[in-house]
Amino acid sequence: MKLRPPATPLITVDPYFSIWSMADKLNGSTVRHWTGSPNTMIGTVTTGGKEYLFMGEAKGIEQIPQITCEVDALSTVYTFKNDAITLVAAFMTPLLPDDLDVMTRPVSYLEIKCITADGSPAQVKIAASEELCLNLKGEGSVVTEIVDFMGGWGVKMGNTEQKPLWRSGDNVRIDWGYFYLASAGAAKLSVCDMDDMKFAQLEKDVASGETALILFAYDDVESMEYFGAHLKSYWNREGACIKCALKAAVSQYEQLKVRAKEFADRLYADAKEAGGEKYADLLSLAWRQVIAAHKVVLDTDGEILFISKECFSNGCAATVDVSYPSIPMFLLYNPELVLGMMRPIFKYAATEAWPFDFAPHDAGQYPLVNGQVYNNVKIEGQMPVEECGNMLVMAAAASIALKDASFAAAHVDTLNGWAEYLIKYGVDPEHQLCTDDFAGHLAHNCNLSLKAISGLMGLSIIHEMLGNTGLQEKYETAARDIAAVWVKNAANGDGSYRLAFDRPDTFSMKYNAVWDKLFGTKIFDACVMGSEIASNFKHFNPYGMPLDNRATYTKSDWLVWTATLAADKETFERFIEPLWLAYHLSPSRVPMTDWYDTVTSIQRGFQHRTVQGGLFIKLLEWKGIMKVR
């Protein structure tokens, strides 16, 4: 890709095991957890009696110049070169969505190839600090062990005091379970003390032109608390041990490397065809982040749960208005995971703990999924129209993608109830929050009314799939009736549409209307959104269109959803160009933020969030798999 990543993914497994380079060069800066907290790792290579630094920071060791950094959806490849040696360091996490055993296996790879100028062998050394298994260095002591996993050797390191799932939160890191620094085949393994920390250390001799395979793994032992039950990750659902996972990872590496390359190339080619080269860059960078902000577990009934974390937002788990923007990516590549997003919400909404007739916002705070924590279940802090509409659209979109509405059928009474709420309150929403809650409460929100329209049409499609003609017609009629009112009351009179029904000469992104285009339902005449999109360009700043007229910030997911309303690729690319530029030039060196300023490109908040799955909506539209009419 030509995009300079604001942060570059290295190891991306789940919200606790996600490590990034937050600088242009891998050496000369500390590698970090997605939160920005150090996850110190140091990589050196020695040849001709001289040691060179290629990863992290280390005093007194000469840095080998970094020549290139190539990033695709599943891999990050650095090349370093000086007069003595050329070193290629290829990080790869095989997040293949059609193979959940591999995707959820908590093992990430680093393949290192050395070519020395004189043909002599080189020695590669990797050191990983206790920060990988503690919230912060020094918060507890660590225990270490050398392990053999019948395919290689590694150093196991973990907190002496093991308390799985003892807390939840946002800017916190795991301090239970065990980190593994491992090698395929033999290696010299040790534990040392540096900078007031313990380090697992691995040394491996590499012949010139040959490669060394390093593995990073994390066994969290217990992954999620789900309404009181402690659940393990999908990969060890049948009791597989981490040593077995390491052994399998070594034996499967060559084939996984090929599969990863094929997947990344296909994704890029499709995205380029759908939305241009810059769009393809954005999707490639987003892929690992989106998956690594989730965890896949099985509930006590053996059903898949796909739990998101609201990273640098509030740490909420299974948040509906975070799942909603993320679904385009999973509708394309594994719609069963969309069902896994919804299951916790349906379960919680059916309990006595949920007192309302609308959908919940979330089901806990990661990794404790025991019921909503957002605003302490107080009525004034809820998002009623937002979450009802989200759940209806998600249920419909998953049903279409799977060509099977049986999941929706199992929850149809709940869905019908939420639709009735939208019929009552969706025409002109009351003073309440929407997913853009950072902007505050707003009454008469035009875009929120579009959410109600999309949700009702979604439920109509579900009933059509189920053969419920009467209910299909009821909810479709309701959607079209609200849309007719919307076109009249939201109009500014110049072809553009308002932020709120009672605020003339205002603007906002109308991203919730995108489902009308994807479903092919033609609720709105083409001229309605056509004139709205044309009007958007007069509001553009150097780094994109603001979310609405109240501030200069925007949201990346909603910007791409709005762009997808465009009638042609050229217009779509006009929206994407400044978004690409924002990431390319932003001084905010963090995993892709979805909330930034369109004047400065500086992050306003949020990073590493799953909502970047929403960038895939143009590809979803291009594929045409949502179209039912």
In a domain, 169, yes or no: yes
Residue type, 567: A
d(CA 196, CA 28): 20
Number of independent structural domains in the chain = 2
Both 250 and 365 in one domain: the answer is no
Strand 368-369 to 224-226 pairing: parallel
User: With bands split at pLDDT 50, 70 and 90, how would you rate the model's confidence at 379?
Assistant: confident
Domain at 450, CATH number: 1.50.10.10
d(CA 257, CA 214): 14
DSSP helix/strand/coil, 511: helix
CA-nearest of 68, 101, 129 to 259 is: 101
Both 250 and 324 in one domain: the answer is no
Contact between 541 and 507 under an 8 Å Cβ cutoff? The reply is no
Both 327 and 384 in one domain: the answer is yes
Domain at 149, CATH number: 2.70.98
In a domain, 380, yes or no: yes
Query: pLDDT of 405-429, one tens digit each?
Result: 999 999 999 999 999 999 999 999 9
pLDDT of 378 reads 84
Total-model pTM: 0.97
In a domain, 254, yes or no: yes
- 275: Cβ–Cβ under 8 A, 6 or more apart, which residues? 569, 572, 573, 576, 618, 619, 622
CA-nearest of 98, 13, 620, 14 to 334 is: 98
Both 561 and 420 in one domain: the answer is yes
Both 311 and 242 in one domain: the answer is no
- 123: Cβ–Cβ under 8 A, 6 or more apart, which residues? 45, 46, 47, 203, 204, 205, 206
Averaged pLDDT score across all residues of the chain: 97
Both 424 and 562 in one domain: the answer is yes
pLDDT of 5 reads 98
User: With bands split at pLDDT 50, 70 and 90, how would you rate the model's confidence at 602?
Assistant: very high
d(CA 241, CA 224): 17
Mean pLDDT over 580-593 rounds to 98
Contact between 520 and 627 under an 8 Å Cβ cutoff? The reply is yes
Both 319 and 464 in one domain: the answer is yes
DSSP helix/strand/coil, 540: coil
Contact between 367 and 316 under an 8 Å Cβ cutoff? The reply is no
Contact between 297 and 308 under an 8 Å Cβ cutoff? The reply is no
Both 353 and 249 in one domain: the answer is no
Place of tokens 């190339």: 265
DSSP designation for 185: B
pLDDT of 380 reads 85
In a domain, 278, yes or no: no
Range of the domain at 573: 303-623
In a domain, 30, yes or no: yes
Query: pLDDT of 3-36, one tens digit each?
Result: 999 999 999 999 999 999 999 999 999 999 999 9
